[in-house]
């Protein structure tokens, strides 16, 4: 088991954002993290990424309690834009290189170029699709073991979504692990191996999609409706 979360709980004031979440992830798989807005998906990702501490419960990474050292193995992409407006595409590369030892600058430059992002383009002037690609290119240029992508397909047009999915599938090599949160079920249905359904801060179900299609013939949308 790569990641084990036991009875994770997180309060924000009087609101229980994550409520006794127990969830295990295996190496080399692509997971879809699904649930309504406010069900605790982002809070869970932030806890695993080490950006916020659980109130109760524990997270084990490769068998040991997760700590600051593991941050080097985990790449988290927030859903909100996180680059400064005044930055250029090339500055983002420099910024990431300074922050992360595992950042591959050459790969970043190659990927951004392939997606039509020129080094001297300003972050401020990018369309939402371009800015989503920039975020992903920077995140995937890290050589991490676990990638946590919060809503990478949100708010962008069809063509940009397809490009983003291709980029993810080029990087998912069966050794590294991906967790992708999304509401766009049809977009991810063919390549998600396990769907993780989160409801009110806890695990409602974890389903192997290919087995489910063989067993019951239920699509992801049907599962979502049945489970949540």
Give the Cα separation of 65 and 37 in Å (integer): 29
Give the Cα separation of 217 and 146 in Å (integer): 30
Decide whether 59 or 220 has the Cβ nearer to another protein.
220
CB count in 10 Å sphere of residue 146: 21
Report the nearest approach of another protein to the CB of residue 171 (Å).
Answer: 9
> Is residue 5 a contact point for another protein (CB under 8 A)?
no
Decide whether 51 or 169 has the Cβ nearer to another protein.
169
Decide whether 89 or 180 has the Cβ nearer to another protein.
180
Report the nearest approach of another protein to the CB of residue 140 (Å).
Answer: 14
Binding mask 112-151 for another protein (x = CB under 8 A): ----------------------------------------
Using the rule CB under 8 A, give the single segment among 24-32, 51-59, 83-91, 130-138 that binds another protein.
Answer: 24-32
When binding is defined by CB under 8 A, the residue of 30, 160, 198, 203 that contacts another protein is 30
> Is residue 174 a contact point for another protein (CB under 8 A)?
yes
Q: How many residues bind another protein (CB under 8 A)?
A: 25
- In angstroms, the first-to-last Cα distance of the chain is 26
Give the Cα separation of 64 and 58 in Å (integer): 10
- Beta-ladder partners of 60: 4, 65
Report the nearest approach of another protein to the CB of residue 28 (Å).
Answer: 7
> Is residue 170 a contact point for another protein (CB under 8 A)?
yes
What are the CA-CA distances from residue 226 to residues 20, 137, 214, 220, 221 (Å)? 22, 35, 17, 10, 9
Decide whether 93 or 152 has the Cβ nearer to another protein.
152
Report the nearest approach of another protein to the CB of residue 91 (Å).
Answer: 29
Report the nearest approach of another protein to the CB of residue 183 (Å).
Answer: 16
Q: How many CA atoms lie within 13 A of 202 on its CB side?
A: 8
DSSP calls for 192-216 = -SEEEEEETTEEEEEEEHHHHHHHT
Number of H helices, E strands in the chain: 8, 10
**Cβ–Cβ < 8 Å for 72, 146:** no
> Is residue 172 a contact point for another protein (CB under 8 A)?
yes
**Contact positions toward another protein, by CB under 8 A?**
28-30, 165-166, 169-170, 172-174, 186, 189-193, 210, 213-214, 217-222
């Amino acid at each position: 088991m790569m990641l084990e979360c036991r009875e994770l709980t997180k309060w924000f004031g009087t609101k229980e954002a994550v409520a006794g979440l127990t969830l295990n992830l295996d190496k080399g798989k692509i997971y879809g993290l699904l649930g309504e807005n406010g069900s605790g998906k982002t809070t869970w990702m932030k806890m695993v990424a080490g950006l916020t501490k659980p109130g109760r419960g524990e997270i084990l990474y490769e068998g040991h309690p997760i700590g600051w050292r593991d941050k080097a193995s985990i790449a988290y992409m927030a859903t909100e834009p996180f680059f400064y407006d005044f930055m250029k595409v090339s500055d983002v590369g420099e910024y990431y290189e300074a922050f992360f030892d595992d950042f591959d600058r050459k790969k970043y430059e190659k990927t951004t170029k392939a997606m039509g992002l020129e080094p001297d383009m300003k972050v401020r002037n990018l369309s939402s699709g371009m800015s989503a690609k920039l975020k992903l290119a920077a995140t995937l240029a890290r050589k991490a073991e676990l990638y946590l992508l919060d809503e990478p397909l949100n708010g962008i047009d069809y063509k940009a979504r397809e490009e983003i999915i291709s980029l993810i599938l080029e990087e998912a090599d069966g050794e590294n692990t991906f967790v992708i949160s999304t509401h766009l079920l049809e977009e991810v249905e063919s390549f998600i191996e396990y769907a993780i359904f989160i409801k009110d801060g806890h695990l409602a179900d974890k389903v192997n999609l290919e087995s489910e299609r063989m067993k019951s013939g239920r699509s992801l949308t049907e599962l979502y409706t049945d489970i949540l």
